């Protein structure tokens, strides 16, 4: 579902990409992978089960598609046509309430070549969430996110500029 959402939104180099509930960084990584494929000389089509799956089955992608007409795939590439890697790195933003999730997200991004993403531990729903004025005023061209999956906020701590009366994070 993440890959489909990223493909539909179609982020590009130069977009600022933000996930306010980043978790392990899945949306950010999928967005980076999408951009890398866009800026590759020869992007590859890969089944969602991975290249190893094809090898274990002893099939080519064409053969697998013939056997499974609804086989889902995604494109991947090295991104060798990206003119400025620093621009890509500087365009990735994410926040999460969990210190452990931020560590995992940063590690995942580093493993995908993004060592300077702008990740921050913060609660975007709370007045006391750790966001600066710069954070609150920053504009993004792409926002991709799953809602937080658990938790309640005290009503008095919910940001006043959010249009909701709910205390549930999602």
Is the pLDDT assigned to residue 170 strictly greater than 60? no
**Range 61-65 average pLDDT:** 95
What span, in angstroms and rounded, lies between the C-alpha atoms of 87 and 60? 36
**Range 100-129 average pLDDT:** 92
| Residue 126 DSSP class | B
Is the pLDDT assigned to residue 165 strictly greater than 90? no
What span, in angstroms and rounded, lies between the C-alpha atoms of 78 and 80? 6
Is the pLDDT assigned to residue 147 strictly greater than 90? no
Q: How far, rounded to the nearest angstrom, does the alpha carbon of residue 55 sit from its chain's CA centroid?
A: 28
Least confident of 52-56, 120-124, 163-167: 163-167
Is the pLDDT assigned to residue 167 strictly greater than 60? no
Place of tokens 């494929």: 37
pTM of the model: 0.86
Please report the pLDDT score of residue 125 as a whole number: 82
Please report the pLDDT score of residue 127 as a whole number: 79
Mean pLDDT of the chain: 90
Two tokens, residue 1: 């579902």
């Amino acid at each position: 579902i993440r890959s489909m959402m990223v493909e539909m939104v179609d982020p590009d180099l130069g977009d600022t990409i933000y996930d306010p509930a980043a978790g392990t960084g899945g949306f950010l990584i999928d967005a980076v992978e999408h951009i890398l494929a866009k800026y590759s000389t020869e992007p590859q089509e890969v089944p969602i089960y991975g290249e190893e799956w094809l090898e274990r089955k002893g099939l080519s992608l064409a053969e697998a598609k013939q056997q499974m007409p609804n086989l889902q795939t995604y494109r991947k590439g090295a991104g060798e046509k990206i003119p400025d890697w620093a621009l890509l790195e500087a365009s990735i933003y994410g926040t999460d309430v969990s210190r452990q999730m931020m560590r995992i997200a940063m590690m995942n991004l580093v493993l995908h070549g993004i060592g300077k993403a702008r990740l921050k531990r913060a609660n975007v729903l709370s007045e006391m969430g750790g966001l600066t004025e710069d954070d609150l005023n920053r504009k993004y061209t792409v926002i991709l996110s799953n809602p937080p999956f658990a938790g309640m906020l005290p009503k008095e701590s919910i940001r006043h500029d959010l249009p909701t009366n709910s205390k549930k994070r999602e």
